[in-house]
Amino acid sequence: MKFTIKHEIKNRIRIHLPMKRLSFREADTLEYYLKDHDEVGEVRVYERTADVVLFFTCDRSRIIGIIKEFSFDDIQVPERVFESSGRELSAKYYDKIVTTVILHYARRIILPFSIRRVIDTFKTAGYILRGLKTLKNRRLQVEMLDAMAITAAVLTGDYNTASNVMFLLKVGDTLEEWTHKRSVDDLARRMSLNIDKVWLLTDDGEVQTDSSRVECGDRVVVRMGNMIPFDGEVFLGEAMVNQASMTGESAPVRKAQGMSVFAGTVIEEGDLTIRVTQTEGCGRFDKIVKMIEESEKLKSSLESKAERLADKLVPYTLLAAGLTGIISRNVTKAVSVLMVDYSCALKMAMPISVLSAIKEASEYNITVKGGKFLEAVADADTIVFDKTGTITKARPTVVRVVSFCDEPEDELLRQAACLEEHFPHSVARAVVDCALNRGLLHDELHTNVEYIVAHGIASEIDGERAVIGSYHFVFEDEGVTIADDKKEEFDSLPDEYSHLYFAKNGMLSACILIEDPMRKETREVVKLLRKQGFEHIVMMTGDSERTAAGIASQAGITEYYAEVLPEDKAGYVERAKAEGHRVIMVGDGINDSPALSASDAGIAISDGAEIARQIADITIGSDNLESIATLREISTLLMNRIRFNYRTIVGFNTALIGLGIAGVMPPATSAMLHNGSTVALGLNSMTKLKK
């Protein structure tokens, strides 16, 4: 692709393409291509000017080469990228605001006063209609105050004031709507489906394939803990499916043969084989947007309190205006009071603050599903960490495979990987990756597999029952025994590693030693969280007491619990909440789901199971625990901003009402200051919280 360099500094370059402007689709295609390279950081594509700003981490020659290799004809972009793009939306609202401003001032310059008066009178009728509609709810709302203020200005012949008020109201409404939709769409894009690989059922068995190759009519196998990738109909199996992403309801729904299932929902229990009925363009993004917009979860308690107060103050503002008019017998003073209300600013600034904070968090790869959860993070005094994949690295590795039978280690590893590849857990991935690195092909050797949450996997290989999992599952639940001549070797297995036991036909076949080292940033993050006000930092794990004690000591965590089950984690969270604590749970696996649901704010690590990410209120996309401290900082700053907005709105508007009653401030000035301050506060609420 040809281009010219307009400006460049270290690790940043601005280029111009040889065209007047880009279409929205072309701009999205170019942005998708550039972001697909690891060397490229932030990308800004300006479709109006055909300019691109790139931040990069590689050599200049490499970034030039990446740009030169681009061609609109060669890039295949998933349809969901265009479906969820916010580019067209932003352009639409930008044009709307610019048009509103130009028309307002053009009318004042070009049109004579008599014509403007007719136009303003006609527009006033629209505001009166809006105000009257609110009376259907038998409540006085801000739309009624706006209508009365504009009407009073028109009746007193103050058409300039009426025109300015309507102009500022329109700009304010457009800004609020734009910010809300942009923030909601950004959140929806983060929540949208993004599955690369699926298990396709063929005549030769299950084959892992790219999701882009799946067509309508294909059969896809989805197991417990995984996300359903396409809309479809259940062909085989029975499962409990969590449909919170589509309906907002957290209770799982039973799905069986012949029933419909939807892309983006997650299987909590059971397995399904789905006949695909729709692949791309199923409108899932729109469904998520609708769910977010209708969900009360977006509202923090402070936000809800501000909205309730805003509605309650409307009658008092109206009463103050009426008393002012009666006592002073001065319509101008009464109109000055009507020009000011608390509701407009409160209802605009509070949601914008929350949605902007959610958007800012997304820039740090943190997906927050509502302001309620930011408030919970800000107020929390207790944080509970799962160990594996959270405190420790998301990618544990196999150190060694110890054989306890006649079969060689590689063959045992191959069989273990064949079972583990179906399930979303960091330890399972470690086994599969190790087999892959050794070049071991693990074709389907087994019959249907059964996943026992927090314990292990059971299946059959060559007619023999095969199990893989924890000590409790393999030896206590399954009654597996160890050959007499192998007991001494078993007792000498090193404790510094996590142990994964593989048994066939009731006899231990192998122990897979897993290295699960602590993340390098964990200790510093724990210190930072304490500085940020967390009184209780807790670690929970299903590992042995000795392993748990070692990791907790390295992390600087004094309170930890070993050999716990999923219900134990959830029980701790419930007890802490009953004692008056606000609790955050951080986890990544299926076994963390109950605790994530029970907490005030559940945080899932993105490399974890789909069900954890689906149930969690917040998802951390980066592979670094520092994101949790960042989330706490953003949440605290948001609550401070909301309180500041609340005090500013009440104080400033009370002063305006007082000046209006005293006759010091005319209606036009009162309206300008009130609406101007509302828009200014809204714009300030859109700014970044973290400096």
Task: List pLDDT tens digits, range 522-577.
Answer: 999 999 999 999 999 999 987 778 778 888 998 999 999 988 877 888 899 999 99
Q: Are 539 and 549 in contact (CB under 8 A)?
A: no
Q: Are 28 and 77 in contact (CB under 8 A)?
A: yes
Q: Are 145 and 314 in contact (CB under 8 A)?
A: yes
Range of lowest pLDDT (450-454, 487-491, 587-591): 450-454
Could you tell me the pTM of the whole model?
0.68
Q: Which of 597, 179, 601, 533 is nearest to 366 (CA)?
A: 601
Q: How far apart are CA 168 and CA 638, in angstroms?
A: 26
Q: Report, as an integer, the average pLDDT of 648-668.
A: 80
Domain edges within the chain = 4-77, 91-188+298-354+637-685, 197-290, 366-392+518-621, 397-515
Residue 559: CB atoms within 10 A of its CB come to: 12
Q: How far apart are CA 1 and CA 59, in angstroms?
A: 19
Q: Which of 349, 356, 307 is nearest to 675 (CA)?
A: 349
CATH 3.90.330.10 fits 366-392+518-621, yes or no: no
Bridge partners for 467 per DSSP: 458, 503
CA 592 and chain centroid, separation: 18
580: left (phi over 0), alpha (psi -120 to 50) or beta: left
Structure tokens at 185: 């769409």
Task: Determine the angle formed by the axes of helices 159-191 and 667-685, rounding to 10 degrees.
Answer: 10
Q: Report, as an integer, the average pLDDT of 590-594.
A: 74
Q: Are 473 and 485 in contact (CB under 8 A)?
A: no
Range of lowest pLDDT (155-159, 228-232, 342-346, 457-461): 342-346
Does 590 or 327 have the greater pLDDT score? 327
Query: What pLDDT score does 293 carry?
Result: 56
Bridge partners for 458 per DSSP: 450, 467
- Using the structure block, give the residue that is written with the tokens 């006949």: 275
Query: What pLDDT score does 185 carry?
Result: 67
Q: Are 517 and 392 in contact (CB under 8 A)?
A: yes
Q: Are 412 and 538 in contact (CB under 8 A)?
A: no
3-state secondary structure string across 539-572: EECCCCHHHHHHHHHHHCCCEEECCCCHHHHHHH
CATH number of 4-77: 3.30.70.100
CATH number of 197-290: 2.70.150.10
Q: How far apart are CA 554 and CA 527, in angstroms?
A: 12
- List, for residues 167-203, the tens digit of each pLDDT value: 877 876 787 677 667 666 665 665 555 566 788 888 7
Q: Using the 8-state DSSP alphabet, how is residue 298 labeled?
A: G
Q: How far apart are CA 223 and CA 553, in angstroms?
A: 36
Query: What pLDDT score does 322 carry?
Result: 81
Work out the pLDDT band at 499, boundaries 50, 70, 90: confident
CATH superfamily of this structure's domain 397-515: Calcium-transporting ATPase, cytoplasmic domain N (3.40.1110.10)
Q: Using the 8-state DSSP alphabet, how is residue 274 labeled?
A: E
Q: How far apart are CA 469 and CA 591, in angstroms?
A: 13
Q: Chain-wide mean pLDDT for the chain?
A: 81
Work out the pLDDT band at 352, boundaries 50, 70, 90: confident
Largest CA distance in the chain: 106
Q: Which of 401, 467, 390 is nearest to 437 (CA)?
A: 401
Q: Are 37 and 27 in contact (CB under 8 A)?
A: no
Work out the pLDDT band at 296, boundaries 50, 70, 90: very low
Cβ-proximal residues to 46 (8 Å cutoff; 6+ apart), any chain: 27, 52, 53
Q: Are 382 and 583 in contact (CB under 8 A)?
A: yes
Cβ-proximal residues to 394 (8 Å cutoff; 6+ apart), any chain: 426, 588, 605, 607, 608, 623
Work out the pLDDT band at 628, boundaries 50, 70, 90: very high
